[in-house]
Structure 1
Amino acid sequence: MDIAGGGRYAETGKYVLKKLPEVTLAFWVMKVAATTLGETAGDLFAQTLKLGYFLTTIALFAVFLVTLVVQLRSKRYNPFFYWTVILSTSMAGTTISDFMNRDASSKYLKAGATSLGWGPQGLGLGYPVGAAILTSLLVLTFALWRVTGLTFSINKIDTFRGEALFWTAILISNTLGTSMGDFLSDSSGLGYLGGALLITGLLLVLVALMKVPAVPNVLVFWFAFVLTRPLGATAGDFLTKPVAKGGLNLGTMGSSAVLLAILFGLIAYAAVRERRANPQGVVLAA
């Protein structure tokens, strides 16, 4: 039995305010759009505008905190608030990953450049070490989440602590996804397009696993959430990098502007649809 246009039935009959979106095809389209924009926008500030990874990471992490506070204080699901946080985690994740993994060597700088922005140029850990650290942090986050006894299902998160854990996992997974995407694009030999095709193939495998009763859909969701980030990273690099490196050379500024327009158009559509389907913003808790 549905309630308030898209609610769900529960034996407890407990009403809760809906804070997070339903996971549909539109959700995944918007996720890829947001993560691709996060890649191009992060590179725009750090590289094109030459603010550097250090300053850009500080600035974008501050933006993330502001958008997160707005989302956490919201009383119901608001597509603009939710997807703004997703975007801010994608942008911050891009520069956090770059700061962790890269350094001031000529490999990561334009010809003739000796530095990029003010402050430390990068820790130079490399993609394997950076990915190992981020994977460990993500596993630790999920372990703590499990200890709390709170649900991992996005459709059933209805507490402040659950939502805080959710956004912590999102920030780490988006940073990890950036490292994975950059490794595929820069170090694996697959190139930008090859890396994007590989991730797309893995996502199709996850879609098939959704039909397997023995595989929990929650597990599939989180694997897909992590993998859509490197898809966005490789797609963003494919749009912005020079043709000589296998990209389309559309530039970070132009690509970011187009992606921003697409994302905000999708957010506006989601807001109208949410208002019509669930005007009261409540669902029955499971």
Structure 2
Amino acid sequence: MAKISVIINTWNEEENIKRCLESVRRIANEIIVVDMYSKDRTTAIAKKLGAKVFFYKYMSYADPAKNFAFRQAQGDWILSLDADEEIPPILAKMLQDLAQDSKDLAYFRIPRKNIIFGKWIKHSRWWPDYVIRFFKKGAVRWSEKIHSVPLTRGEGRDLEAKEVNAIVHHHYQSISQYLERMNRYTGIQAEELIKTGYKFRWQDMLRKPMGEFLSRFFVGEAYKDGLHGLVLALLQAFSEMIKYIKVWEKEKFIEQDISSYHEVLEENINDYLHWQVKVSGLIGKIRLKIKKKI
């Protein structure tokens, strides 16, 4: 019978770790917590609930610690989770069955239900938010880069994008939490951008955030999530801007000629108007169809 190892990477997760652990206890043959020297009660809670605890040097993101965590696992299959995630009972039973029946498959991509500022975000590219989290040992490894796509071996499959199949992700619970993580992540992303040979261009500081906003709000239909969708689209655009400003900071705030700023702003306005007209036309057509049916 195939065994399942649950892997959870942590740092200061005392508010989340119990919920996460309790959601997987029935299907886990072992639970491994790899902690980056938390300053709170994370490891004490994990040990009390029966998890094996290992330690990894502190880093401002968990990706480098994942491969170390996988090497500690003894199971045939690995379920990799973040501490702010949980596995609902129906999904837990499904994963248990898949571990026994999926001889020809090496991994599964699982949809994720992101709860942000107290609401399930169903648009803005936050759903189905597929993640590779259930896989045979040795079939998946993580890159050292932040939020990178895992490297896989063998064939995989997507679970259907339904709520009952989704990992529940208790994501950003406050604006302060978003901004704190944004500050950490944008610093890392700026460093990675510099390593590619990128040199700061002030135009990117305007174009990239607008592109992110348009992609989230219009293409990703964030407007369907109401005020939550608008705020998230703006915050993610702001994150994109900060990333580029931090590259400028690394270049010692060297001055650049911005005399053509009006052209870049006009370009951004035109892009916005294009999508506004497109979405307004689509909404108008939908309303017309509904009116005709009525």
TM norm structure 1: 0.26
Structure with the larger RCO, 1 or 2 (CA within 8 Å, 6+ apart): 1
Which has the larger Rg? 2
Q: Which structure has more helix as a fraction of its residues?
A: 1
Q: Which structure has more strand as a fraction of its residues?
A: 2
TM norm structure 2: 0.25
